[in-house]
Amino acid sequence: MGYYNPFMPQIQPQQAARQEVTRVNGYNGASAFEIGANSSALLLDTSGLLVWLVTTDGAGYKTVQPYDITPHKDAPAPDYAALEERITKLEGMMKNGNSGNSATAKQLTIPDDE
């Protein structure tokens, strides 16, 4: 059976560490952010799509580097029907021996954005 010992430290339940996003305004805000020696911090810039990586060396000298951020966009779904159509045309060209026909070759040109 347990008993109370006033000399024994009481164990407190641990709470989850609070996490926050530190926001700054531009280079001046990032360079004014105080951190200790051999530390680093990632700061969100409120004036644009930037994050600032602030690091210090052993002597406490600070380096402030900006990084661009952009919102994530999911890749578009592949257009399998268009791909299948292009393959069918290529197969037809190969069977018919029309590989030298410039008019047919122009139709099958792959756009730069795909």
**In the structure, what pLDDT confidence band is assigned to residue 4 with cuts at 50, 70 and 90?**
low
Looking at the fold, whether 38 and 64 belong to one and the same domain comes out as yes
Read off the pLDDT of residues 63-105 as tens digits, 9 standing for 90 and up. Answer: 999 999 988 899 988 888 888 999 999 998 998 876 555 555 5
Q: CA torsion, points 26, 32, 34, 39, in degrees to nearest 10?
A: 60
Q: Which amino acid is at 94?
A: M
Q: Into how many domains does the chain fold? A: 2
Q: Which amino acid is at 55?
A: T
Looking at the fold, whether 78 and 61 belong to one and the same domain comes out as no
Q: What pLDDT is attached to residue 108?
A: 55
Q: What pLDDT is attached to residue 96?
A: 85
3-state secondary structure 39-80: CEEEEEECCCCEEEEEEECCCCCEEEEEEECCCCCCCCCCCH
Please give the Cα distance from 31 to 68 (Å, whole number): 17
Please give the Cα distance from 72 to 103 (Å, whole number): 40
| Structural domain containing residue 59 | 23-68
Q: What pLDDT is attached to residue 16?
A: 76
**In the structure, what pLDDT confidence band is assigned to residue 5 with cuts at 50, 70 and 90?**
low
Looking at the fold, whether 54 and 79 belong to one and the same domain comes out as no
**Would residue 7 count as lying in a domain?**
no
Looking at the fold, whether 102 and 87 belong to one and the same domain comes out as yes
